[in-house]
Amino acid sequence: MKDARRRMKPGQSPASVRARARRIVERLKQHTPHARVELDYTTSFELLVATILSAQCTDERVNRVTPALFAAYPGAGELARASQARLESIIKPTGFYRSKAQRLIECGQTLVERFGGVVPKTMEDLTSLPGIGRKTANVILGACEGVPSVVVDTHVKRVSHRLQLTQQTDPTKIEFDLQAVWPERYWTEGSQRILLHGRYVCLARKPRCEVCVLYDDCEWTGKRARPC
């Protein structure tokens, strides 16, 4: 209750805030019925690797790199024994390839040493992997394990602020705020739909307000007037 009140304007009730948050997800669902993670993967290991590579890189570019990467390193064991130079040469198009290669090898080694080469299935265990934070852990839990999870990336942060679903700037606090206004069944799809909305419509510099299905529910002072 306290979290909901922190987001409210005078005259709003916690129930109205939650109803508006659910309405936002439903409107996005009508517009994009099938919202999915845009990284290509078939296993939780592949999604873990792809998510690490997606830092400061588009999903499209990651998807061009991962077929060769997964063919060379199909599991944690192969990744743990990888030559850093060879790994760097494969993932170089994703940027920051030296640090990413080091992180991937360390993750592979930790998976082998602590988890028998299997990607763990809890937030605590996932975030114990080298360089893995809550965002990556939530991606894996929501997409692969069916665990209700709120992913907060730069798009979710921006859009949830513009929609006044949170006043926080810390990603973990934003995650908890969104959990507070959505039922658990909305967590995974809600954050994924907001992520895609931010990626394709509610852009950082030039938001496409003219095609936004959330226009009437958006109280952002910077939103653009629609043409008459």
CATH of the domain at 97: 1.10.340.30
Range list of H helices, 73-218: 76-80, 84-91, 97-115, 123-126, 134-144, 154-162, 171-181, 184-200
Distance between CA 4 and CA 176 in Å, rounded? Answer: 11
Q: Quick check: 67 pLDDT over 60?
A: yes
> What is the reported pLDDT for 9?
53
Block residue for tokens 């993750």? 107
pLDDT digits (tens, 9 = 90+) for 124-147: 999 999 989 999 999 999 999 999
Largest interatomic CA distance in the chain: 62
Which residue is catalytic, options 153, 157, 170, 177? 153
Q: What is the pTM of this model?
A: 0.90
Provide mean pLDDT across the span 216-225.
89
Q: What distances in angstroms separate CA 140 from CA 45, 95, 205, one per listed residue?
A: 9, 22, 29
Inside any domain, residue 19: yes
Catalytic annotation present for 153: yes
Residue 23 lies in a domain: yes
State pLDDT tens for residues 196-214.
999 999 999 999 999 999 9
Per the domain annotation, does 144 fall within a domain? no
- Total domains in the chain come to 2
**What backbone torsions phi and psi does residue 147 show, to the nearest 5 degrees?**
-90, 125
Indicate if 31 and 74 belong to the same structural domain: no
Residue with tokens 């064991």: 77
- Shared domain check, 192 and 209: yes
Q: Is 135 a catalytic residue?
A: yes
Helix (H, G, I), strand (E, B) or coil at 110: helix
- The tokens of 117 are what? 């080469």
Q: Of residues 29, 59, 125, 135, which has the active-site annotation? A: 135
